[in-house]
Amino acid sequence: MVAGVNLGYDTNASAMEMANTIFGDGVTVVGASYSGDKQSSAIYSKGDEVAGNVTPGDTGVISSTGRARGFTNQKQSGSNEKSDTSSDTKGDDNDSDFNAIAGTSTYDASYMVVDFIPTDAVLTMQFVFSSDEYPEYTNSVFNDMVGVWINGTHVPLSIASSGTTINSVNQTDNINLYNDNTNDQFNTEMDGFTVTMTLTIPVTVGKVNSIKIGIADVSDNQYDSNLLIAADSVQTKLVALDDQVTMQDGVTKNVDVLDNDINHTSGTLQVTHINGNPVVAGQTITLPTGQTVKLLADGTFDITTDDDFETTSFTYQVESTDGSGNVVETDVGFLTVETIPCFVAGTMIDTLDGPRAVEGLVPGDMVMTRDDGPQPLRWIGRRSVPAIGKMAPICIRENALGQHGEILVSPLHRVLVRDVLAELFFGEAEVLIAARDLVNDRTIRPVEGGEVDYVHLLFDQHQVIYAEGLATESFLPGPQTTKSFEADIVAEIATIFPELDLTTGEGYGHAVRPMLKRYEAEAMRRRVA
């Protein structure tokens, strides 16, 4: 347990003062307003001194659904003495924008609306989300959230495809981005908080843009949550764009995260942090999900996956320095690593000639697809792994998801689910959900033991095909797919798909249906259960 020490809080700061605190290079603030309880917002200070592993910067702005000062323990004894910090403030209830993205009633909203003129087309923002809803109300209706809108359009958290919420980053989802504080390890009264994260926001150059930034309680007015925005971080001069890499399990690949970052400064870029941890060249960080990330002298990462099939994201911080070593600008970016999904050998695939075992298929075989009829198989890959832990296949019992036979697939292999709830929540009647996210331990469950042969099927575009009568996905190459396989496999895929950009992995096409995140799939899983 650490001792509680207060940040500095200026709760009398005006909207313009708060806006000018967080807006930095490449933008001119022309107007600002604040809505919410007067005690729910503040300019904070002394972050690096007393809570450097919690706050996104030494100074910045905090917005709260309770009282801003409640972010740290005012008694200056233990850092986290209450697990249910609650303040029913005079903040806005049922704000229409927050209600729309929450899908329910919201309370105690605290937010700013800032008008500004940018010099460049992409804006970024560094922030931390914290809450006393963690961890006991994870994946419940009490889903407190951060909301950001640019010119009236909601800006989602890219690695979650939703707002920043309790359900999108927590102890089970996006766990690399979450810090638990239930044992009072950190100087905050909140039970959990995120690492410093980022939003990447398109803006109109040279024109007045309007951004709304804030936080709200969801479904009730209890258990406070906070949004902390780093000073000068809302800027356009250095933008760390998202990176994605698709890899096999148990391999090491090199990734250049700086290659696509936007640098309008005169400085040189270097990585200074991985997932909030300071790093220097040659140092390796082990993520909570088990992957290791080593920073090399050229600024690239060597990423080594473990033996799990999973999709996981982490952050890196980049800074621009001038010739004298002075820091010109900083930003934070996301890197998402996905291990590839596949079928289990022995699975019967519907083809033009009837059902055939997946391992017996060869390129050129005509496989039946849901959307485009019979399509030629272009590539097939196969590998054997121990069926242990997160590598164990998922068994979907006969007719668990409609009329189909029993099937084994890898945990990340997505199956097609058609449900009225999908159309209600996601605007599409048919969605793709990873098998692991449908596990109910009865009709859908992992099966451990022995070796398992996983098989990948690749077509001219992403397809829904039929395996044991169940609609499932084919292999979808993601960004930087060329880093996913051994050199001979890369060469083979490149020959088959010359339009595939070997540097970026682009050129293949988009997913055939919306692909749900784990927390998004929870409602569908309950229907199956």
Please write the tens of the pLDDT for every residue from 39-94: 999 999 999 999 989 999 999 999 999 999 999 986 656 555 555 555 667 889 99
Which has more pLDDT, 144 or 75? 144
Q: What pLDDT is stored for residue 519 in this prediction?
A: 74
Identity of the amino acid at 250? G
- Other Cβ atoms closer than 10 A to 486: 10
List, in order, residues 6 or more apart from 506 with CB less than 8 Å away.
Answer: 479, 500
Task: Tell me: pLDDT of 212 over 60.
Answer: yes
Tokens linked to 112: 């700013």
Let me know: does 485 contact 248? Beta carbons within 8 Å. yes
Identity of the amino acid at 16? M
Identity of the amino acid at 175? I
- 274/278 Cα distance (integer angstroms): 7
Query: Computed from CA positions of residues 295, 168, 150, 38, in that sequence, does the dihedral angle turn out positive or negative?
Result: negative
Which has more pLDDT, 307 or 6? 6
3-state secondary structure 392-443: CCEEECCCCCCCCCCEEECCCCEEEEECHHHHHHHCCCEEEEEHHHHCCCCC
Closest listed residue to residue 249, CA positions, set 437, 387, 349, 345: 387
* pLDDT-wise least confident of 78-87, 157-166, 216-225, 290-299: 78-87
Task: Burial-class residue 120 by CB neighbours within 10 Å (0-12, 13-18, 19+).
Answer: middle
SS3 category, 127:
strand
Q: How far is CA 152 from CA 125, 158, 435, in A?
A: 17, 18, 36
Please tell me whether the peptide bond between 135 and the residue prior to it is cis, using omega within 30 degrees of 0. yes
Q: What pLDDT is stored for residue 300 in this prediction?
A: 96
- 417/445 Cα distance (integer angstroms): 17
280-317 in b/e burial notation, b at 16+ Cβ within 10 A?
eeeeebebebebebbbeeebbbebbbbebbbbbbbbbb
User: Domains of the chain, with CATH numbers?
Assistant: 8-230 (no CATH), 238-339 (2.60.40.10), 343-476+511-528 (2.170.16.10)
pLDDT, one tens digit per residue, over 91-132 is: 899 999 999 999 999 999 999 999 999 999 999 999 999 999
pTM of the shown model = 0.75
What average pLDDT does range 499-514 have in this prediction? 72
What is the overall mean pLDDT for the chain?
89
List, in order, residues 6 or more apart from 55 with CB less than 8 Å away.
Answer: 7, 44, 47, 48, 128, 228, 230
Task: Burial-class residue 405 by CB neighbours within 10 Å (0-12, 13-18, 19+).
Answer: middle
What average pLDDT does range 308-315 have in this prediction? 84
